[in-house]
A and B are shown apart, each in its own frame.
Chain A
Amino acid sequence: MAAPLISQGEVEWITAGVSYNTRNDGRKREDFRQLKVQLGMLAQATGSARVQLGETDVIVGVKAEIGVPDADRPDCGRIVFGVECSPVASPAFRGRGGDELSSELARALERSMYPGPSGRGGGIDLSVLSIVSGKTCWVLHVDALLLNIGGNLHDAVSAAAKAALADAKVPKVQVVPGEDPNGKRARLQLPGHSRAGCYSSVSDPEAGLAWPSKRVYEPDYEVDDDPSEAMRLDASGMPICITVSLIGGHCVVDLTVQEELCSAAAMQVAVDASGGVCGITKRRQKGIEASLAMEMIEVAQRAAAQLHTALSSSLAEQQGQQQMAVG
């Protein structure tokens, strides 16, 4: 990222201000800037959201595709996160310049949604995304685009991802028995591997098969276009990432670009609506004393409660407006 310059005098001004619990824009240490959320602005996407946290501007689009589930979790869907740093936000993102930052943001999002061995432990219950166990599932591609960098990117991206997933309307899919088109035979399946799908009778005098097998036809998928039939995801359990930084030994939340240059250590803590910690990453160069680290996690839990209420009231308002517009 193009490093904006900051003088030693400015650093001392900001550090002294933080020790008096005052920041340049009048906020206290644990106050967030104003959060603005817009839902559903992208017509082509399954779900979308735009979040503005002060000057930071992020758009997230969700696209649902049909894919293959993980071998380790056959009856769960998948969510894949991608982040793109647009050159619009900073000239340093030209070409491959933003790669490091985008993979960092994407991995932090993925880790905060870690679903556990059953696939149900994460922010979103992935088992609702399964279509045919072990064969087909919904794969949600969540793509974030950074438009303007005003500091505190991680928090804005995770809030936008949560809003976009709450807005996503996944079409209803029905698995129907496959038709046999013009006598063309579908693939045969060996015994012990039968999954969902229909099978007709086994005997076939022309086949001359040496071993017993079930003839299985490829199942057909009927996708319902009706938006009122679409499945909404329950994103209420999804965590939001809070970045807590240390400026002069005090814990500060939601830093602007200038304040970020004054901080030498930070912890990113993903907290869900009930206060559970869903993912921690330590960032930046300096070490943090162990008891101070626990304090930072508690600050993050307090600040997350604030951000969660702001986000859910915004979401409820927007979704209420959408209902009124349709109905």
Chain B
Amino acid sequence: MAGQREAQSVPWFADERPAEVIADGVRLDGRSLEEFRNVFLKTGVISQASGSAYAEFGHTKVMVGVYGPRQSERRVEYSEQGRINVDVKLASFATRQRGIFGQSPEERELSAGVQAALEAAADLASFPKASADVYVLVLEAGGGELGVAATAAALALADAGIELFDIVVACSVSRVDGCLLLDPSTDESFREQGGLVLALLPTSNEVTQLVSRGRWSGSQLREGLELAMGGCAQLESAARQCLKDAVVAAAAKQRQQQQQAQA
């Protein structure tokens, strides 16, 4: 018969996906409907890169390295504006089923999504003819990968010293059985009737990326967007704090080195 599947082996999973993800307004992991997972953000994790960031949102772990601005590796047309190239890769152990070699269509879509989210925020005129290469590695895909990758990539760009108009923050919203869940995990988004990801420049309230799937009515969409914008506002303070901490730590380290050099 025609139509063979790519994987000839049968996948084996330790546990089945739960059928009910929400009961009496409380989610499986004990969060309320509008609560984020535990968020951890840190910059300066890759020594070779111009800028880097590591973001952990519950079980979603993303590492981003930015190299540039530098000469483009590929032959591209002359442009008076700089370019941001994004490459997203899911590690083969990141998802439930082992990933394939090379870049899958999902990864290409994630790359395009993160690129769109970052382009509006960066001052591309500040590095003409050069390109900033952003490499995103998803170590564990626990839900909301596009949002986490966009936030981490924005922090990495800031860490690399590329001029940004504003920091990009992104979050996802899922609609399960009529309830809107902020920052869903994979189990929750597997059961969704609709989902959306919003990337925002918080100060000017500008949408840099909006991706939705599933059927939304006009009013549901408005509510979902408002919840996402509220979530982005929460994330913004965490992102700014992370950058401030990085600057303070770097200044302290410099002072220490100077003292040691004098002593």
One of A27-35, A248-256, A290-298 contacting the partner: A290-298
8 Å CB interface, A293-312 against B: 293-294, 297-298, 301
Which single residue of chain B is at the shortest CB-CB distance from A293?
Answer: B207
Which residues from A are CB-within-8-Å of B205? 289-290
8 Å CB interface, A212-245 against B: none
On whether the beta carbons of B120 and A285 are closer than 8 Å, the reply is yes
On whether the beta carbons of B1 and A66 are closer than 8 Å, the reply is yes
Q: Does A18 contact B (CB under 8 A)?
A: no
One of B31-39, B64-72, B87-95, B215-223 contacting the partner: B215-223
Instruction: Give the contacting residue for B209; candidates A136, A282, A290; CB below 8 A.
Output: A282
8 Å CB interface, A65-104 against B: 65-68, 71-72, 103-104
Interface of A is mostly: mixed
Q: How far is the CA of A116 from the CA of B216 in the complex (A)?
A: 12
Q: Does B5 contact A (CB under 8 A)?
A: yes
Instruction: Give the contacting residue for B215; candidates A106, A121, A287; CB below 8 A.
Output: A121
Q: Does B211 contact A (CB under 8 A)?
A: yes
One of A50-58, A155-163, A184-192, A271-279 contacting the partner: A271-279
On whether the beta carbons of B214 and A114 are closer than 8 Å, the reply is yes
On whether the beta carbons of B204 and A277 are closer than 8 Å, the reply is no
Which single residue of chain B is at the shortest CB-CB distance from A280?
Answer: B212
8 Å CB interface, B87-115 against A: 105, 108-109, 112
Which residues from B are CB-within-8-Å of A195? none
On whether the beta carbons of B214 and A282 are closer than 8 Å, the reply is no
One of B132-140, B193-201, B249-257 contacting the partner: B193-201
Which residues from A are CB-within-8-Å of B204? 287, 289
Chain A interface residue bracket vs B: 35 or more
Which residues from B are CB-within-8-Å of A287? 120-121, 201, 204, 206-208
Interface of B is mostly: mixed
Q: Does B190 contact A (CB under 8 A)?
A: yes
Q: Does A36 contact B (CB under 8 A)?
A: no
Q: How far is the CA of A276 from the CA of B194 in the complex (A)?
A: 11
Q: How far is the CA of A68 from the CA of B2 in the complex (A)?
A: 9
Q: Nearest Cβ distance between residue A148 and chain B, in whole angstroms?
A: 24
Which residues from B are CB-within-8-Å of A72? 190
8 Å CB interface, A103-139 against B: 103-104, 106-107, 111-112, 114, 116-117, 121, 136, 139
On whether the beta carbons of A282 and B221 are closer than 8 Å, the reply is no
Q: Nearest Cβ distance between residue B134 and chain A, in whole angstroms?
A: 15
Which single residue of chain A is at the shortest CB-CB distance from B118?
Answer: A285
Instruction: Give the contacting residue for B216; candidates A104, A106, A117, A277; CB below 8 A.
Output: A277
Given A275-B218, A276-B216, A285-B120, A116 contacting B210 (CB threshold 8 A)? no
Q: Does B229 contact A (CB under 8 A)?
A: yes
Q: Nearest Cβ distance between residue A246 and chain B, in whole angstroms?
A: 11
On whether the beta carbons of B191 and A301 are closer than 8 Å, the reply is no
Sample (7) of A-B pairs whose CB atoms are under 8 Å apart: A112-B213, A116-B214, A117-B191, A275-B218, A281-B211, A282-B116, A287-B120
Using a CB–CB cutoff of 8 Å, the interface residues on chain B facing chain A are 1-5, 11, 105, 108-109, 112, 116, 119-121, 190-194, 196, 200-201, 204-218, 221-222, 225, 229
Using a CB–CB cutoff of 8 Å, the interface residues on chain A facing chain B are 65-68, 71-72, 103-104, 106-107, 111-112, 114, 116-117, 121, 136, 139, 267, 272, 275-290, 293-294, 297-298, 301
Q: Which 4 A-B pairs have the closest CB atoms?
A: A67-B3, A287-B206, A287-B120, A280-B212
